[in-house]
Structure 1
Amino acid sequence: MKIVVFGGTGLIGSQVVKLLREKGHEVVAQSPSTGVNTVTGDGVADAVAGADVVVDVTNSPSFAPDDVMAFFQKSTGNLLAAEKAAKVGHHVALSVVGAERSPESSYLPAKVAQEKLIRESGAPYTVVRATQFFEFLGSIADTATDGDTVHIAPVAFQPMASADVAAAVADAAAAAAVNAAIETAGPERLRFDEVIRDTLAAKDDPRRVVADPAARYFGQTMHDDTVVPVGDYRPGAIRLADWRAAQPA
């Protein structure tokens, strides 16, 4: 199959491209660096021409709420319109576990809006919802830092390796559309504050992590079911400890 991956040069997209090429598919990576802009629509029609599957793993360059919402609405709308004209048979998009349970979030309502556009487009689709990536745990700590203290809610947390996210997206792209969302998460259900505490300790970071039930995650009040799957999901293969051990010193 010919598969076009938008966001194909990023953390997830580059891995998806590699996995699908290893499966023998014709894969084209597209991004602003290749001259394709999904927000303005520049180059999109030519990029999807002849594609059997389109994979969308693009992300907003700004996390300001209005910017995120505008990005996903414009980008997704442009992709879906171009795919309809080109008669693309399957749209695959990456979303986030718990987005629909996070209305206070500065970011996740935009993913809910993106999923709605996809569902209502009439296109055959698969949405892959993933939990937080191991690669971003340090950034999560930074956003929750006040002075030398990191405030994190002591709730269930099930992060995963980007490699496992990419594998789930690649498998969805190579399969038939399910016209539904499927979820994937790390192989271990942990506690948010403990994960961040261990992450900083592994880097000899002196910041203190406080288990704070009132701490918000990108604006969202946290509960045990906020960012973990509550039904069936595909577990990743890579444990956090093993991922950490494999990181360069």
Structure 2
Amino acid sequence: FFRTSTANLLKAEAEAGVTHHVALSVVGTDRLQESGYFRAKQAQEELIKASGVPYSIVHATQFFEFMKGLADISTEGDTVLLAPVKIQPIHSDDVAAAVGRAAVGAPANGVVEVAGPDVFQLDELLRKALASKNDPRTVVTDPKAPYSGAQLQETTLLPGPDAHIAETRFADWVAQQP
């Protein structure tokens, strides 16, 4: 999907004379190549870089809104298995703002990272997220638990030191949820 859709889009851009391709991807994509999804995202990024069209790739950390989905793909029975690694999630509105800044700015011809302001341990964050929704599943810490099919190191999901840090805090976002 990513290869075909990106190739089609790049072809149309070249024909239309587009001068700045902006794509959204994921922090850690290059470090998560055990996962089919992240291999596909890496292939997408490589096509963009090789296209000759000036570009900006925005790497975002995991969205607050995807916490339940992350728990769902990590669930066996009534147990959510998660590695005790660091994560710095972000609100989707802050990601949209970062993509907007990239789109109106000069092409980076590289990757720009964006992350939320708070660093959590993944298993602890999911405990909080599930509790906030009265989800009865039990989160179990398992250092070997995969993330979308890939094994994690402690900092795999964290951005680099030059990342733009957004303002919305997870606790504030949770407090605003119905």
**TM-score, structure 1 normalization:** 0.70
2:11 maps to which of 70, 73, 81: 81
Q: Does 1:178 align with 2:141?
A: no
1:231 maps to which of 133, 137, 161: 161
| Whole-Å separation in 2 of the counterparts to 1:142 and 1:87 | 42
Counterpart in the other structure of 2:50? 120
For 1:134-213, list aligned pairs within 5 A.
134-213=64-143
CA contact (8 A) 2:114 2:166 kept: yes
The amino acid that maps onto 2:94 is D
Root mean square deviation of aligned Cα: 0.8
* Structure 2: gaps spanning 5 or more residues: none
Counterpart in the other structure of 2:35? 105
1:166 is displaced (CA, Å) by 0.3
| Whole-Å separation in 2 of the counterparts to 1:83 and 1:231 | 32
Q: Deviations over 1:113-169 (max 9, x none)?
A: 111001111111000000111101011111111111110000001111000100000
1:236 is displaced (CA, Å) by 1.3
* Structure 1: gaps spanning 5 or more residues: 1-70
The amino acid that maps onto 2:165 is P
Counterpart in the other structure of 1:43? none
- SS of 2:162's partner is coil
| Whole-Å separation in 1 of the counterparts to 2:32 and 2:73 | 17
Structure number with bigger Rg: 1
Counterpart in the other structure of 1:214? 144
**TM superposition outliers: structure 1 runs of 4+ over 6 Å:** none
Aligned residues: 178
| Whole-Å separation in 2 of the counterparts to 1:98 and 1:193 | 18
| Whole-Å separation in 1 of the counterparts to 2:53 and 2:81 | 42
| Whole-Å separation in 2 of the counterparts to 1:88 and 1:142 | 39
Seq. identity, %: 54
| Structure with the larger RCO, 1 or 2 (CA within 8 Å, 6+ apart) | 2
- SS of 2:156's partner is coil
CA contact (8 A) 2:117 2:166 kept: yes
- SS of 2:155's partner is coil
